[in-house]
Each structure stands twice: as structure tokens, then as C-alpha cells.
Amino acid sequence: MKILIDTNVLLRAVQKDHLMHDRAVSAMAAHRAEGEQLCVISQNLIEFWAVATRPIPNNGLGLTIQEAQQEILNIKLLFALHHDVTRIFKNWEHLVTKYQVQGKQAHDARIVAAMIAHDIKNILTFNIDDFKRYTEITAILPLIVTT
């Protein structure tokens, strides 16, 4: 089974001092151990870059360009990367109309559109409420898994 890793989980995984760091890392490790394919889409990398390079006082990570480049490289090595394809836009148009999506929620609809295009049914996210409306996918909350 394929699981998309949402940007918020990727960000928490690199923030070792964040309260949700252990949950992010533990959940991804558990899903990987179960043989599930963890993946990202191009939009995850763009969103990650935006937050990673934003100054800390502006709710960013304050990474340098070089640090952000290294983190993106690490993500691409650890997760299957699904690139943008033409049908994502068609899927997005359908979703925003079907679910009456407004404002910045259009970005989440694009994530779901890409998931549909790449036959990804699950997303690991701390923001499960952002994806509840979409019956095409299932949002999974990262939990600490103990062995």
C-alpha cells in the first residue's frame, strides 16, 4: 500500500526539538516496517522548501539554502517521489467543484488530486481535518508506535 507523507509530517521529522518529532518519525518507521511504500509528491517538496527557508520568527525553520537543499535530497532518497502529471489539474478541477472548496483549502485539494492521479489512497498527516471531506482518500494521524 502507498502512503503519501504530508508536508507537516516531513517538517516535524526534521525538527528534532518539536513536540511532534517523535510521533512523525515513529509513525513513518512503523508504516515502512509494515512494507508500505512511503511517498511524496512535488508539492510536498515545494511546501517543505517554503517553510524550511522561512525565518523562525515567521513560523519557519530558518534553514539556509544549503541546509534546505540537503533536506530535500534526503527526502528524495527516503521516499518515492511522484512527479506532476497532466491529469492532476483535471482531478483538482473536479474535486474543488464536487466538494465546494474555497480559499487556501484549494492546496489540499491539489494534494488529493495528485494522490488520485498516482493511485495513493492514504495520507499520513497531522491535519486530518483538512482531508475528511474527500471520500477518495483516507487521512491517517501519526501515532507513536512502541514495539
- Write the pLDDT tens digit of every residue in 123-146: 999 999 999 999 999 999 998 665
3-state SS assignment for residue 70: helix
Q: Domains in the chain, ordered, with CATH?
A: 2-140 (3.40.50.1010)
Q: Report the chain's terminal Cα–Cα distance, integer Å.
A: 21
d(CA 47, CA 36) in angstroms, rounded, equals: 23
| Mean pLDDT, rounded, of the chain | 96
Q: Tell me what the mean pLDDT of segment 94-104 comes to.
A: 97
- For the residues 34-59, what does the mean pLDDT come to? 97
Average pLDDT of the segment spanning 100-111: 97
d(CA 121, CA 137): 5
| d(C-alpha 68, C-alpha 77), whole Å | 14
Give the mean model confidence (pLDDT) for residues 49-53: 98
16, 133 contact by CB (below 8 A): no
DSSP label at 143? -
Residue 147 pLDDT: 54
Contacts 24+ apart (CB under 8 A), 74-79: 75/10, 75/40, 75/44, 75/45, 75/48, 76/40, 76/45, 78/38, 79/5, 79/38, 79/39, 79/40
Query: pTM here?
Result: 0.95
